[in-house]
Amino acid sequence: MASALTPQAEDFPRWYQDVVAKAEMADNGPVRGTMVIRPYGYAIWERMQAEIDVRIKEAGAENAYFPLFIPESYLAREAQHVEGFSPELAVVTHAGGEVLAEPVVVRPTSETVFGEFMAKWIQSYRDLPLLLNQWANVVRWELRPRLFLRSSEFLWQEGHTAHDSYEDASAYVNGIHTNVYNDFLEKVLAMPTYLGIKPPSERFAGAINTMTCEGMMRDGKALQMATSHELGQNFAKAFDIKFQNKEGQSALCWTTSWGSSTRLVGGLIMAHGDDNGLIVPPHLAPTQVVVIAVREDDEVLAACNKIAAALKSAGVRVRIDNGGASFGRRVTDWEIKGVPIRVEVGPRDLAEGVVALVRRDSSEKVSISPDAVAASVPGILEQMQSQMYESQLARRNANTHDVKSIEEAMEASQTGFARLDWELVGPAGEAKLKTDAITVRCLQRRDGSMPVTDTEKDLICIVAKSY
Amino acid sequence: MASALTPQAEDFPRWYQDVVAKAEMADNGPVRGTMVIRPYGYAIWERMQAEIDVRIKEAGAENAYFPLFIPESYLAREAQHVEGFSPELAVVTHAGGEVLAEPVVVRPTSETVFGEFMAKWIQSYRDLPLLLNQWANVVRWELRPRLFLRSSEFLWQEGHTAHDSYEDASAYVNGIHTNVYNDFLEKVLAMPTYLGIKPPSERFAGAINTMTCEGMMRDGKALQMATSHELGQNFAKAFDIKFQNKEGQSALCWTTSWGSSTRLVGGLIMAHGDDNGLIVPPHLAPTQVVVIAVREDDEVLAACNKIAAALKSAGVRVRIDNGGASFGRRVTDWEIKGVPIRVEVGPRDLAEGVVALVRRDSSEKVSISPDAVAASVPGILEQMQSQMYESQLARRNANTHDVKSIEEAMEASQTGFARLDWELVGPAGEAKLKTDAITVRCLQRRDGSMPVTDTEKDLICIVAKSY
């Protein structure tokens, strides 16, 4: 059967579009740059949300919900912030049949409105740290939209916290970056990342430091999977977020913000997908096993139901595909959707006392007794999860090149990442890289750990083309 | 200690405002009519979402996400729909620094955009029914906003389905109304409702039939807790939602929509609250038990931790309050928040081998061995849940009066609900009721069941003032 997708090697962006469409992940919305997330894409996002949310709650933050509409004047209070976001704003000028006295913007991010209410709610050091998060939609007008990767509206979580000291703020946001984002990326998304801080030129508008997790896609480009910001006292000054300290004096808070979005779905597709479609890591997959009836036949369906029930009891997320289109067509569709394991149940196999078990990552097919499926599957899923991570790590390492000059970095960035001494780059180097759409993705220490500031000595940097 | 709240009997709306503020449920947002849902209010909403979502999934619908922005022209395609929603729309006229060629509206509800994509995705009868739902924010500009009850932006779920026949559509949406909404209201929110259909004058804009669940608040007014709509073929015509039937002919679909929102939080407060604050039914409560250290003391804290761990093992949602403010102040705060059970752990009680267990609904206080708490609590929570429902039912029944005329209905509506023959009302009766802000909340059969249409003979109706 001919593949339904453009091969990656032929045209990676078109392969991506094909997967998004044929796996029924998302469609373009009617307003330019917006998207409709279809049930399969949304089920993946729901699993991401669940895994990230539990980690956020473990980190002590509580969910809340702040308004979609922000007075235009709020953004102007933090100079860098308004400069960074103004070009991307959507503005409501009319509501309830009348022209609004002050136009309101649709939130592009919510530091300003969180700041306003933190100032109201925080009185003393006893109210700190204040640890908040919200799951919400945000709007940043995109001129070159791409489903999941760059959409004018996207879904995300944004955490906002206030602390009584730089040290506490810094330690907290570092913990979020490491124990929420990177832990999720490694353990659930099976994706190794370069963890580091952004160079000053790439910081979030209004931040004193931005941390990032950079993933490598299969075309060698980078995708920023999540970012966490130390905001210093910039927003505390702009929104008057003060507290009475233990000595009874009034002091400014230190705030942070951190976010991850539906962009993660794009990263999932581009890191793990192959020419047959998506491959979803078992820990993430909304459907871990699909039990497919080769033919619609009572005996076959009974066997499918029995296997699915046993898998469900074993804690596996399972569904049954009992027909409709041809068997071959259905197999292709499940491959495109990247369900980790297929159990194919056919009358001839059943007569011999077996069913076929096929792994999506290796296409390895084994015959197994129907009664043995439920006992085998959990172990196979775990093995697949760790092998997917190992294979990503190997690919990433093989495509990251240590180089000694900007020129070599530019060459290496055509197919992967380059790593070089940060002092070899500097503002002039960054400008030169940008002539070929290459940027410094992050700064790291030589051992790969995350620096505290970009002023640390002896840092290295990762440079790449990016989404 | 003086109560922190305005008594209900003195000023019910102010009591409501006080509870929302002092239980830290929500604040007014900076843009008129918007709200900030604070962590405690949001935790209650998250519990509502979880309970409703699992029921929606059991009914076979899948979650998706459709865009916030809808082209203005979409709304105009269904005449009644645009007429109903136009006065409440917020309109984006500028985005990305430019004037938009076509203004876009911020969704007030999403029938139109779901309709557009249903038309794309549905080809044949095999694609039906198409059962979708989304959790999202919507905007309807409010001139007289009230937190949770009427806010310009609110959170909700909206289900949208397409079917191959009137019968299938009708049966499905009836199932949603009964098995999702009413089941949730009765079993989780401990709230009996009058289940019925709206009179034609109160239908959703574009529907051929609207079902409702009407709850009675403690001031005798009605609150519409959730609504479900049969849209007939109105939206199928407007958006060309067609399918090829089994006979190979092209036919129009029948669609439905159904929604429940953060308004439920307002209903929870006004149905169950008393002069000491909120009372959250145990099945809903994000915190079912708070274990309070009377004093900060090592022995007390150790006992609190042990009790909380045992409760957690027993599947109870528990948290510890180990100090900060005075004991009395903390008790008042937990009462205002309506946590079902308090376990008070003090040094004197501990010396006698007991702790105090206090129910929020009855204020009954019993002494109990710390080791017996975890075994007792689940049963007490279940008992409290069913007693709260029974008490609501008794209050509602006592305040629903069977009457024989519009005049009597108007009198009964000053303090509760009136029930009378629908044929005694009619358009003239509705107009007269409205002179005192009274409306027909729903039509029912004499046995209290839900009619199929308002043209059935021998119907009765419930009339009341409402939120």
- Residues B187-227 have pLDDT tens digits of 999 999 999 999 999 999 999 999 999 999 999 999 999 99
Answer whether A120 sits within 8 Å of B324, measured CB to CB. Answer: no
Q: Where are the beta strands (DSSP E) in B108-163?
A: 130-139, 153-163
- Write down the residue that tokens 């419930």 correspond to: B462
Matching CATH number, A401-465, of 3.30.110, 3.40.50, 3.30.70, 1.10.10: 3.30.110
Q: Which amino acid, A103?
A: P
| Residue A441: per-residue pLDDT | 98
CA-derived radius of gyration, chain A: 24
- DSSP H or E run through B442: strand B438-444
Percent of chain A with pLDDT over 90: 94
CB B282 within 8 A of CB B383: no
| Residue B363: per-residue pLDDT | 85
Half-sphere CA count of A394, side-chain side, radius 13 A:
6
Q: What is the pLDDT of residues B88-142, one digit of tens each?
A: 999 999 999 999 999 999 999 999 999 999 999 999 999 999 999 999 999 999 9
CB B132 within 8 A of CB B114: yes
User: Which residues touch A188 (CB under 8 Å, ≥6 apart)?
Assistant: A48, A51, A281, A283, A284
Answer whether A67 sits within 8 Å of B324, measured CB to CB. Answer: no
Q: Which amino acid, B391?
A: S
User: Which residues touch B270 (CB under 8 Å, ≥6 apart)?
Assistant: B16, B217, B218, B219, B223, B467
Q: What is the CA angle B113-B116-B119, rounded to 5?
A: 145
**What is the phi-psi region of residue A324: left when phi exceeds 0, alpha when psi lies from -120 to 50, beta otherwise?**
left
Q: What is the pLDDT of residues A5-56, one digit of tens each?
A: 999 999 999 999 999 999 999 999 999 999 999 999 999 999 999 999 999 9
| Residue B324: per-residue pLDDT | 83
| Residue B3: per-residue pLDDT | 59
- Of A278, A259, A227, A32, which is closest to residue A155 (Cα–Cα)? A259
Q: With contacts defined as CB-CB under 8 Å, which chain A residues touch B92?
A: 90-93, 106
Q: How confident is the model at residue A79 (pLDDT cuts 50, 70, 90)?
A: confident
Q: With contacts defined as CB-CB under 8 Å, which chain B residues touch A34?
A: 67-69
Answer whether B30 sits within 8 Å of A66, measured CB to CB. Answer: no
Answer whether B30 sits within 8 Å of A113, measured CB to CB. Answer: yes
Answer whether B34 sits within 8 Å of A126, measured CB to CB. Answer: no
Q: With contacts defined as CB-CB under 8 Å, which chain B residues touch A65?
A: 36-37, 42, 45, 155
Separation in Å, CA A82 to CA A73, A74, A75, A79, A137: 10, 9, 5, 6, 19
Q: What is the Cα–Cα distance from A341 to A363, expressed in whole angstroms?
A: 9
Does B186 have pLDDT greater than 80? Answer: yes
Q: What is the CA angle A174-A438-A442, rounded to 5?
A: 15
Does A1 have pLDDT greater than 60? Answer: no
- Write down the residue that tokens 């910001």 correspond to: A229
User: Which residues touch B359 (CB under 8 Å, ≥6 apart)?
Assistant: B340, B341, B380, B384
* Average pLDDT over every residue of B330-356: 97
* Average pLDDT over every residue of A209-233: 98
Answer whether A95 sits within 8 Å of B89, measured CB to CB. Answer: yes
| Residue B4: per-residue pLDDT | 83
Answer whether A93 sits within 8 Å of B96, measured CB to CB. Answer: no
**What is the phi-psi region of residue A123: left when phi exceeds 0, alpha when psi lies from -120 to 50, beta otherwise?**
alpha
Answer whether A94 sits within 8 Å of B94, measured CB to CB. Answer: no
CB A420 within 8 A of CB A409: yes
Q: What is the pLDDT of residues A354-410, one digit of tens each?
A: 999 999 999 889 999 999 999 999 999 999 999 999 999 999 999 999 999 999 999
Beta bridge partners of A439: A464
Does B79 have pLDDT greater than 90? Answer: no
| Residue B371: per-residue pLDDT | 97
Best of A47, A92, A118 to disrupt the B interface (most B CBs within 10 Å) is: A92
Percent of chain B with pLDDT over 90: 94
Alpha carbon dihedral A141, A144, A145, A150, in 10-degree steps, equals: -80
Q: What is the Cα–Cα distance from A402 to A412, expressed in whole angstroms?
A: 9
Q: Which CATH architecture has domain A289-380?
A: 3-Layer(aba) Sandwich (3.40)
Answer whether A36 sits within 8 Å of B66, measured CB to CB. Answer: yes
* B289-387: CATH number: 3.40.50.800
d(CA B9, nearest CA chain A) in Å? 30
Q: Domain-by-domain residue ranges, chain A?
A: 12-272, 289-380, 401-465
d(CA B28, nearest CA chain A) in Å? 9
Answer whether A70 sits within 8 Å of B30, measured CB to CB. Answer: yes
- Of B84, B78, B142, B140, which is closest to residue B113 (Cα–Cα)? B78
Q: What is the Cα–Cα distance from B376 to B354, expressed in whole angstroms?
A: 14
Tell me whether strands A62-63 and A417-421 are parallel, antiparallel or unpaired: unpaired
Longest dimension (CA), chain A: 82
| Residue B1: per-residue pLDDT | 42
Average pLDDT value for chain B: 96
Alpha carbon dihedral B197, B201, B203, B204, in 10-degree steps, equals: -160
- Peptide linkage before B129 cis (omega within 30 of 0): yes
| Residue B80: per-residue pLDDT | 86
- Peptide linkage before A192 cis (omega within 30 of 0): no
- Of B258, B272, B261, which is closest to residue B216 (Cα–Cα)? B272
pTM over 0.95: yes
CA A54 to chain centre: 15
Phi, psi of B125 (to 5 degrees): -55, -25
Question: Could you tell me which chain B residue has the CA closest to the CA of A115?
Answer: B30
| Residue A2: per-residue pLDDT | 45
Phi, psi of B273 (to 5 degrees): -70, 155
- Both tokens of A51, joined, read 């895994």
Does A341 have pLDDT greater than 80? Answer: yes
| Residue B282: per-residue pLDDT | 98
- DSSP H or E run through B102: strand B98-106
- Both tokens of A84, joined, read 């960074």
No. of helices (H) and no. of strands (E), chain B: 15, 23
Average pLDDT value for chain A: 96
Does A78 have pLDDT greater than 90? Answer: no
d(CA A62, nearest CA chain B) in Å? 6
Closest CB to B42 among A64, A142, A153: A64
Matching CATH number, B12-272, of 3.30.930.10, 3.40.50.620, 1.10.3720.10, 3.40.630.10: 3.30.930.10
- Both tokens of A449, joined, read 């750990």
Q: What is the pLDDT of residues A171-208, one digit of tens each?
A: 999 999 999 999 999 999 999 999 999 999 999 999 99
Q: How confident is the model at residue B81 (pLDDT cuts 50, 70, 90)?
A: confident
d(CA B448, nearest CA chain A) in Å? 37
Closest CB to A67 among B35, B87, B141: B35
Q: With contacts defined as CB-CB under 8 Å, which chain B residues touch A317?
A: none
Closest CB to B95 among A45, A63, A90: A90
Neighbours of B437 (CB within 10 A): 10
Does A335 have pLDDT greater than 90? Answer: yes
Question: Could you tell me which chain B residue has the CA closest to the CA of A143?
Answer: B96
Per the document, the length of chain B is 467
Answer whether B96 sits within 8 Å of A106, measured CB to CB. Answer: no
| Residue A82: per-residue pLDDT | 86
Percent of chain A with pLDDT over 70: 99
3-class SS letters over B161-207: EEECCHHHHHHHHHHHHHHHHHHHHHHCCCCCCEEEECCHHHCCCCC
Answer whether A64 sits within 8 Å of B117, measured CB to CB. Answer: no
Neighbours of A175 (CB within 10 A): 13
Does B70 have pLDDT greater than 90? Answer: yes
Q: Which amino acid, B251?
A: A
Q: What is the Cα–Cα distance from A304 to A297, expressed in whole angstroms?
A: 10
Does A84 have pLDDT greater than 90? Answer: no
User: Which residues touch B203 (CB under 8 Å, ≥6 apart)?
Assistant: B209, B210, B229
Answer whether A92 sits within 8 Å of B91, measured CB to CB. Answer: yes
| Residue B93: per-residue pLDDT | 95
Q: What is the Cα–Cα distance from A436 to A413, expressed in whole angstroms?
A: 9
Rounded to two decimals, the ipTM of the complex is: 0.96
* Average pLDDT over every residue of A305-334: 96
Burial of B373 per CB tally in 10 Å (0-12, 13-18, 19+)? buried
- Of B68, B193, B310, which is closest to residue A69 (Cα–Cα)? B68
d(CA A35, nearest CA chain B) in Å? 6
Q: With contacts defined as CB-CB under 8 Å, which chain B residues touch A46?
A: 63
Q: With contacts defined as CB-CB under 8 Å, which chain B residues touch A30?
A: 67, 70-71, 74, 113, 116
Answer whether A94 sits within 8 Å of B96, measured CB to CB. Answer: no
3-class SS letters over chain A: CCCCCCCCCCCHHHHHHHHHHHCCCEEECCCCCCEEECHHHHHHHHHHHHHHHHHHHHCCCEECECCCEEEHHHHHCCHHHHHHHHHHCEEEEEECCEEEEEEEEECCCCHHHHHHHHHHHCCEHHHCCEEEEEEEEEECCCCCCECCCECCEEEEEEEEEEECCHHHHHHHHHHHHHHHHHHHHHHCCCCCCEEEECCHHHCCCCCCEEEEEEEECCCCCEEEEEEEEECCCHHHHHHCCEEECCCCCEEECEEEEEEEECHHHHHHHHHHCECCECCCCCCCCCCCEEEEECCCCHHHHHHHHHHHHHHHHCCCCEEEECCCCCHHHHHHHHHHHCCCEEEEECHHHHHCCCEEEEECCCCCEEEECHHHHHHHHHHHHHHHHHHHHHHHHHHHHHCEEECCCHHHHHHHCCCCEEEEEHHHCHHHHHHHHHCCCEEEEEEECCCCCCCCCCCCCCCEEEEEEEC
Separation in Å, CA B166 to CA B125, B244, B246, B425: 14, 16, 16, 29
CATH class of B400-465: alpha beta
Q: In a 3-state reduction of DSSP, which class is residue B113?
A: helix
Percent of chain B with pLDDT over 70: 99
Angle between helices B373-398 and B298-313 (to 10 degrees): 70
Burial of B57 per CB tally in 10 Å (0-12, 13-18, 19+)? middle
